[in-house]
A and B are shown apart, each in its own frame.
Chain A
Amino acid sequence: MRHIISILLENESGALSRVANLFSARGYNIETLCVAPTEDPSLSRMTLVTNGTPEIIEQIVKQLNKLIEVVKLVDLTEGVHIERELMLVKIRAVGELQRAEVMRLVDIFRGRIIDVTEVTYTVEITGTSEKLDGFMDAVGRDELLEVTRTGITGIARGVKALRT
């Protein structure tokens, strides 16, 4: 099963490689990984999407907790949560017909055009991973010139917060 694990860790050099190392050394999967400092600059927040049996996920959580730099973590998929991913995508847009069609799709998917040339549109779009996939399918994979995605970030619904 797919799990989203959200981790608060010391914002120190090496912390990220320790996490990455753990996954490769123990043969766990990382589907996406997204990390940046938090409102407290001494802490980073990492969101990691992985999959595995309940036993493997239990081990992943325990092994992550064992890393000295990991301060706290939560498996978001255990509760109600919101997940988002940001995608920037450069799309071929040549001729009036195609340009209008892309704009229409951007509108439907609530994206934004952030750069324009005579032959391309660059679009910013956020949502669940499925939504981003859906957008790419709608535009047509052949029309995509370049795609970059941040990987999933997530947060729990309600008042509960992951903090030190």
Chain B
Amino acid sequence: MELTGAEIVIRALKEEGVDYVFGYPGGAILHVYDAIHAQNDIQHVLVRHEQAATHAADGYARASGKPGVVLVTSGPGVTNAVTGIATAFMDSIPMVILSGQVPTKLIGNDAFQEVDSVGITRPCVKHNFLVKDVKELATTLKKAFYIATTGRPGPVLVDLPKDITAAKTVFDYPHNIKMRSYSPTLKGHTGQIRKAVKLILKAERPIVYVGGGAILGEASKEVTELTRMLGYPVTNTLMGLGAYPATDPQFVGMLGMHGTYEANMCMHDCDVMIAIGARFDDRVTGNLEKFAPYARIVHIDIDPSSIAKNVQVEVPIVGSVANVLRAMISLIREEGSQPVKKEALARWWRQIDKWRAIDSLSYEHSDTIIKPQYVMQQLYTVTEGNAIVTSDVGQHQMWAAQYYHFDLPRRWINSGGLGTMGFGLPAAMGCKLACPDLDVACVTGEGSIQMMLQELSTMLQYNTPVKIVNLNNGYLGMVRQWQEFFYEKRYAMSYMDALPDFVKLAEAYGHVGMKIEHPGDVEASLREAFAMKDRTVFLDFITDPEENVFPMIPAGGAHNEMLLAGRDAMRSTHEEGMVLV
């Protein structure tokens, strides 16, 4: 039997086990919408802006491990989606974007709602396709899902001209696909693995440095097992939080610009670094010239181009992190070997304990004004550490990362790579659809939340109860903090004036709104909100307006040049640092 291109799209989505599609209709994609109308297996979530469709699909993917699917129309539908596609690309999130396009005959004619979607998205997708023949549609969709979900995952866009979704052909979905030009290396090189294990066991001052790749690669179990076997300290990146349990004594906290003192000092002083699914991003390494001067580095990553990109390493291992770690674990087990430098390791731990004693995440408590850190600590307590926490971008993001202790992967959902304000709310909606039984909190700021506020409407329509924790400091806080430190407090455009009444706003969208102004009310309000299982609650916490995120490595600084709260006066970064972002 022949099917239309639109029907083929729906059938392919079913074959791929897709349960939700996030999208927004328009002329060029209407055939596909008509096909959606004719079935009940795949639920379409009608967002209020295409950017939200991509963030929601992204949140869904991060929480579930399955690819997120987006459906948008041509022209503005695609351009609106670009920010979300780039967000997913930077964090290697599996996503398939299906975009309508003007009919093939009109392509290149500046037709109504025509943009070169493949061209516009090329730099921010793992791959993209323009389908020019309905006979190639099924195979192209299969390839799209295959590419998006294998190797280092990423977004793949399939552009669908309107005549292609109308044309008919026999539906024959390939169950397996082999591409001569694409086959990710999954198994690590045995010789390299041996070499790595040898180096690791001889370490005197080791650190295990775990990034988002460990979560994407479903390797938390292996990361935890190997790290415990070795008894080494471990740090997670912003993207890696939850890959190793944060409440475990071997965990020294997050590293990087706003990482803990002990994590960054471990990175600086270590003699052996075991980098797992991490990419030595500039927010993590600080000044590259002063990065880990004594370290011999083992780097495990599925993407060869991540290795030796910013930092030269001694033992590169390309492969899926779970595979490689399993091979390391069995090797150590088979040989019954152990770390050999017992005394040095004990000394290293004593040193780490001294760093820990500095208590770099301590902050000044207050009985009169709500401290944002305190809200995060209470959020952690009230949800018993079990919630999925999404965040937007800014100070609140760092506080959430610092004070909510993630023991499990896929519970901390944030835009680490692109740093996209507006990500948090739609992502929370996607998470709730992926994990309806878990509490979902969206930690945000009054700046970020206003970038995707319209999604409160979608959340009512699809009944995705989320607790919005707005740390309302009246500032674009992270911008203000940089202006305080590096621009002599010239607060250019970082003040949020004429804010809406968020309580009324939440109510206008059919949700519950709460305004909390006293520290004494923080816990009770959170308890009340989380008790309302089936409602979205907007908690507007009026917080200390000029609180800063500490510790901080100023741009251009090294890991051992951290500024600590209460200890270091704000000092300007060096000139070199000022040109860095």
Interface of A toward B, CB cutoff 8 Å: 9-10, 13-14, 17-18, 21, 25, 55, 58-59, 62-63, 65-66, 68-71, 164
Contacts and interface: CB of A to CB of B under 8 A. Distances in A.
14 contacts: A10-B181, A13-B130, A14-B118, A14-B128, A21-B122, A55-B308, A62-B305, A65-B304, A66-B303, A66-B304, A66-B305, A68-B147, A69-B181, A70-B181
Interface in B142-157: 147
B520 interface: no
Contact of B182 (A21, A63, A68): A68
A9 B305 contact: no
Interface of B: 118-119, 122-123, 126-128, 130, 147, 179-182, 303-305, 308-309, 312
Nearest to B127: A68
A70 to B, nearest CB: 6
CB-based closest 3 A-B pairs: A62-B305, A71-B181, A68-B127
B181 A25 contact: no
A17 B181 contact: no
B181 A62 contact: no
Nearest to B179: A68
Given A55-B312, A65-B304, A68-B181, 12 more contacts: A9-B181, A10-B181, A14-B130, A21-B123, A59-B305, A59-B308, A62-B304, A63-B305, A65-B305, A66-B304, A68-B179, A71-B180
A85 B127 CA distance: 32
A45 to B, nearest CB: 14
A69 to B, nearest CB: 6
B67 to A, nearest CB: 16
A65 B304 CA distance: 9
Contacts of B126: 68
Given A59-B305, A66-B303, A68-B147, A17 B122 contact: yes
Contacts of B147: 68
Contacts of A14: 118, 122, 128, 130
Contact of A164 (B122, B180, B303, B305): B180
Determine which residue in A10, A59, A68 has the highest number of CB atoms from chain B within 10 A of its CB, and name it: A68
Contact of A18 (B122, B130, B305, B309): B122
A82 B128 CA distance: 35
A9 B123 CA distance: 18
B237 to A, nearest CB: 21
A21 B182 CA distance: 19
Contacts of A59: 305, 308-309
A44 to B, nearest CB: 12
A129 to B, nearest CB: 29
Contacts of B180: 71, 164
Contacts of A164: 180
Contacts of A68: 126-127, 147, 179, 181-182
Contacts of A21: 122-123
A67 to B, nearest CB: 8
Contacts of B305: 59, 62-63, 65-66
Nearest to A71: B181
Contacts of A69: 181
A23 B255 CA distance: 32
Contacts of B118: 14
Contacts of B182: 68
A41 to B, nearest CB: 15
Contacts of A25: 123
Determine which residue in A9, A59, A63 has the highest number of CB atoms from chain B within 10 A of its CB, and name it: A59
B119 A17 contact: yes
B128 to A, nearest CB: 8
Contacts of B181: 9-10, 68-71
Contacts of B312: 55
Nearest to A55: B308
A55 B312 CA distance: 9
B284 to A, nearest CB: 18
